[in-house]
Structure 1
């Protein structure tokens, strides 16, 4: 009879997410994961199958948490431009408050693995699609409310907001403070 699992797989995925987020996929060793999760290699592989399978679950966990936070702010009541500004600031504030300056795990994964890891690329693509769709919906809401010019292509503006978000997340990794990031957010929102 096999021994029962001595750990919670859901907690292990959250802990693995932190390791992958801090180090990246390639630099994370199975030993790093074993040490962070406090389990043996056998348990790691028996539960998750492989380092890559655990990475996929960690990236999904990250995607679900980040997307929920962004969608929540965008869905709050109030002026659309202020919600957009608040959503962008939320991401920047999280990045600037992080002592490790990890940035966005999805953006980091895109930079590290896009084109070489089909599954990771698709997971990130879906996260970016979901973010862009949320931005597009808010832009359309702003157009209906008269806050954003109705002639603007909402899909194009959603893409621009996604691109701005990706750039902000990268810039925040090296920013000495919020100055430049604040200017980007203000210019983006004010351009609408």
Structure 2
């Protein structure tokens, strides 16, 4: 008879997510995952089969949290569209203090996606969700007269995604709040 688990798998995935987010897949050792999750090696491997399996769950959780948050902000019909877009950019300017700098998706795109078709597919599906939400909000802003109707909504949505990704990379490289805020202001002026 299998022994029941006495830990919260979701909490373990979120702890591993933060470890991978901070250090990347390759640089995060199994020992670091044990320390982050509070689990022993055998519990990690019995539950998640491999470091890769745990990483995939952590990446999926990250995308679920972050993409849902972006979509929720963009679909807030109680606020003008430009404010919603500003909110998306501001989250890259001042992320919660307890988060590692950067973005797990961007880090994964750089570190692993060029050599991993499965991860590339996951990231592309996530990006399509964000792109669709951004495009819908931008088109709503165009109908409301907040955004020029002659601008390409798809191009602007890609621009916002690229800007946020670039801001996350800049933050990971040490860019301060003032620099990130100026990037957000410049992006808003372009929209």
TM over 0.5: yes
Deviation at 1:128, TM superposition (A): 1.9
CA offsets 1:107-155 (integer angstroms, 9 cap, x no match): 1111111211222222222222222221111110011101112121111
TM (normalized to structure 1)? 0.90
CA offsets 1:158-191 (integer angstroms, 9 cap, x no match): 1111111111111122345222222221121122
Whether the 8 Å CA contact 1:101–1:172 is kept in 2: the answer is no
Query: Counterpart of 1:83?
Result: 84
Query: Counterpart of 2:135?
Result: 136
Query: Counterpart of 2:50?
Result: 50
**Range 123-132 or range 163-172, more displaced:** 123-132
Distance change (3 Å), C-alpha of 1:122 and 1:145: same
CA offsets 1:11-31 (integer angstroms, 9 cap, x no match): 211111111111110011222
Query: Counterpart of 1:178?
Result: 177
Distance change (3 Å), C-alpha of 1:4 and 1:101: closer
| Structure 1 residues 160-179: aligned runs within 5 Å | 160-179=159-178
Whether the 8 Å CA contact 1:14–1:61 is kept in 2: the answer is yes
| Runs (5+) with no aligned partner, structure 1 | none
Residues matched between the structures, number: 190
| SS state at 2:166 partner | helix
Query: Counterpart of 1:61?
Result: 61
Q: Distance in 1 between matches of 2:124 and 2:5?
A: 34
Distance change (3 Å), C-alpha of 1:88 and 1:40: same
TM (normalized to structure 2)? 0.91
Q: Distance in 2 between matches of 1:44 and 1:178?
A: 37
